[in-house]
Amino acid sequence: MIDAARRKWDRAARTYDFVTRADERRYGRAKQQLFETMHGRCLMLAVGTGHDLAHCPPGLTIHALDISRAMLERAREPAAHYPGRVMLVQMDARRLAFRDATFDSIATVCTFCSVPDPVVGLRELHRVLKPDGRLLLFEHVRSRVGPIAMMQDLLTPLSRRLGPDLNRDTFGNVARAGFRVVREENVYLDIVKAGEAVRGVG
């Protein structure tokens, strides 16, 4: 499963910036606002081609992970331009090679629509986040509006072949992994959301 996911995102790396260019324009400001509280040691999950690094505050030390080597190759240039320190690492979100309570801030952008076993991945984030740390999420999720949700369900078998699932309950998964969601904001309909979560009890 992991090799299949890696191959899929290696293929997607070729066209990713072109396909997401309008989304980047539309959501850049919302991402910037979400990430402005990032501080200390930071983890950015599924950094992709690296364009989200431009929305991070300057001066941070960021461990930027992705499962795809091709994505990380493309992220080199944005990482080099970031006014801080970025370490690009190929790693599976479900098996993070970091000690418990390592990071002050963790940022994810459209990540848990793709990670197989999302709750397992989110539990890993729970483990490596410091007790007073913050998980910052910019994710698309399944709508609660029936006709739109049905469309997302119908298109997911197709979209999954090329990229992400369209119908994940990511904020529900965040809670299932032991986080407490402290802010949830709709950015486009109730599909594209920005949010913050902290470690819950346990």
Partner 1 sequence: MATAAAIHAVIAPGWDMVVAMLVGAAIGTTVHLAAMALCGPFLGMWQVMVPGSIIGMYGGMLFGMRNSMQAAGWAEVLIVGALLGICAVAAVQIYDGVLRGPRAGAE
**For residue 45, which of 125, 162, 163 has the smallest C-alpha distance?**
125
Classify strands 129-140 and 192-199 as parallel, antiparallel or unpaired: antiparallel
Binders of partner 1 among residues 145 to 174 (CB under 8 A) are: 145, 147-148, 151, 154-155, 158
CA proximity to 94, closest of 57, 126, 130 = 126
Among 26, 39, 85, 176, binds partner 1 (CB under 8 A): 26
Please, what is the minimum distance in Å from the beta carbon of residue 150 to partner 1? 8
CA distance 5 to 115: 8
- Asked whether position 140 contacts partner 1 by CB under 8 A, the answer is yes
Q: What size, in residues, is the chain?
A: 202
Of residues 125 and 191, the one with the C-beta less far from partner 1: 191
Angle at 116 between CA 198 and CA 15, to 5 degrees: 100
Nearest-approach distance from CB 135 to partner 1, in angstroms:
13
Does 89 participate in binding partner 1 (rule CB under 8 A)?
Answer: no
Interface with partner 1 (CB under 8 A): 18-23, 26, 140, 145, 147-148, 151, 154-155, 158, 180-193, 195
